[in-house]
């Protein structure tokens, strides 16, 4: 299943869905799906064309994907009236002319997380943008820096804490400096995932994990159920400690 379509810039409508494996195609649309971003359960329907937004999550079928190739407007050409092409434009086309406002320099390098296997965070990968020879960390990287701690990163990388603070605040720094920080963040995340692949679990995920546990087949998914119960047990103890502290 592919990522559901969402409105541009609307982060609340972005999903990455999973569902129990089944060879019965007729039952797919009647099966509840889970969003790995927040663990919530949803119903789904096939992608449709309409003005009203459905309550269910719309997923694209192979037919939807194939149709986009036929309906995709040609961005590089204009129609016979000199206007941008639409999905139904036909006839003789002419080249469109682009007027540049101002250049924006971006890096072509991709994250090294691809080398570690499947990583859902790669769906939201953002290229590095340069400004007068300097670069700025992405929002995700800045959040990682705050979470790990300025002092720890300073000890591990040798970069002065004032510079790390600038990076965490979204200021532009030298590319070499940011590369050192990104390398440390990638290594730190890899080590964390190897030691605890479910370190991102939160007490708020408890209800969804329990529900997922009941959906799985008790025989075929025995190993997954045992793993889920371990995660649930750990979150329950963590939740209890949090309430006791309060």
On whether residue 84 sits in a domain, the answer given is no
Cα 131 to Cα 137: distance, rounded to the nearest angstrom: 12
Whether residues 169 and 222 share a domain: the answer is: no
b/e burial code for range 156-187 (CB count within 10 A of at least 16 → b):
ebebeeebbebbbeeebbeeebbebbbebbbe
Residue-wise pLDDT tens digits, 34-80:
877 777 888 878 776 666 666 777 777 788 788 778 878 888 888 88
Cα 197 to Cα 131: distance, rounded to the nearest angstrom: 36
Whether residues 64 and 40 share a domain: the answer is: yes
pLDDT higher than 70, residue 108: no
Q: Are 16 and 6 in contact (CB under 8 A)?
A: no
Query: Would you state the pLDDT for residue 179?
Result: 87
Whether residues 115 and 184 share a domain: the answer is: yes
Cα 31 to Cα 45: distance, rounded to the nearest angstrom: 10
> Which residues form the domain of 240?
203-245
CA atoms within 13 A on the CB side of 125: 13
List, in order, residues 6 or more apart from 238 with CB less than 8 Å away.
203
Whether residues 178 and 135 share a domain: the answer is: yes
Tokens of 212: 């997922």
On whether residue 209 sits in a domain, the answer given is yes
Count of structural domains within the chain = 3
Tokens of 37: 């971003």
On whether residue 138 sits in a domain, the answer given is yes
Whether residues 59 and 139 share a domain: the answer is: no
On whether residue 97 sits in a domain, the answer given is no
Whether residues 175 and 213 share a domain: the answer is: no
Mean pLDDT of the chain: 76
On whether residue 30 sits in a domain, the answer given is yes
Residue-wise pLDDT tens digits, 183-232:
898 888 777 766 665 666 777 777 877 887 787 778 787 888 888 888 88
Range with the largest mean pLDDT of 12-26, 85-99, 232-246? 85-99
Whether residues 152 and 217 share a domain: the answer is: no
- Average pLDDT, integer, range 164-178: 89
Quote the DSSP letter at residue 133.
Answer: T
Tokens 């030691």 -> residue: 195
Whether residues 112 and 188 share a domain: the answer is: yes
Strands 94-95 and 77-78: antiparallel
67's torsion region: left (phi>0), alpha (psi -120 to 50) or beta? alpha
Whether residues 174 and 208 share a domain: the answer is: no
Whether residues 113 and 191 share a domain: the answer is: yes
Tokens of 194: 């190897």
Query: Would you state the pLDDT for residue 3?
Result: 40
Cα 113 to Cα 119: distance, rounded to the nearest angstrom: 7
On whether residue 101 sits in a domain, the answer given is no
Calculate helix-pair angle for 139-148, 150-157, nearest 10 degrees.
90
Calculate helix-pair angle for 150-157, 161-168, nearest 10 degrees.
120
On whether residue 31 sits in a domain, the answer given is yes
Query: Would you state the pLDDT for residue 98?
Result: 78
Calculate helix-pair angle for 139-148, 175-195, nearest 10 degrees.
60
Whether residues 162 and 230 share a domain: the answer is: no
On whether residue 98 sits in a domain, the answer given is no
Count Cβ atoms below 10 Å from residue 234 Cβ, excluding itself. 13
Query: Would you state the pLDDT for residue 9?
Result: 41
Whether residues 121 and 167 share a domain: the answer is: yes
Residue 58: enclosing H or E segment and its boundaries? strand 57-59
Residue-wise pLDDT tens digits, 117-136:
555 555 555 666 666 678 88
């Amino acid at each position: 299943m592919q990522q559901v379509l969402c409105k541009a810039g609307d982060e609340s409508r972005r999903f990455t869905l999973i569902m129990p494996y089944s060879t019965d195609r007729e039952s797919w649309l009647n099966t509840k799906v889970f969003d790995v971003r927040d663990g919530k359960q949803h119903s789904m329907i096939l992608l449709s064309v309409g003005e009203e937004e459905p309550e269910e999550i719309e997923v694209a079928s192979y037919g939807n994907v194939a149709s986009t190739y036929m309906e995709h407007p040609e961005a590089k050409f204009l129609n016979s009236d000199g206007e941008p092409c639409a999905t139904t434009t036909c006839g003789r086309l002419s080249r469109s002319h682009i007027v540049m406002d101002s250049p924006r320099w971006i890096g072509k390098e991709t994250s090294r997380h691809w080398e570690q296997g499947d990583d859902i965070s790669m769906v939201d990968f953002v290229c590095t943008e340069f400004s007068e020879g300097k670069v700025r960390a992405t929002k995700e990287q800045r959040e990682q820096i705050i979470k790990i701690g300025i002092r720890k990163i300073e000890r591990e990388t040798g970069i002065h804490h004032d510079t790390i603070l600038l990076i965490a605040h979204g200021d532009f720094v030298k590319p070499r400096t940011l590369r050192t920080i990104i390398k440390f963040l990638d290594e730190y995340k890899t080590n964390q995932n190897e030691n605890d692949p479910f370190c991102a679990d939160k007490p708020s995920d408890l209800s969804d994990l329990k529900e997922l546990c009941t959906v799985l087949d008790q025989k075929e998914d025995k190993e997954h159920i045992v793993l889920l119960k371990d995660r649930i047990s750990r979150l329950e103890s963590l939740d209890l400690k949090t309430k006791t502290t309060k």
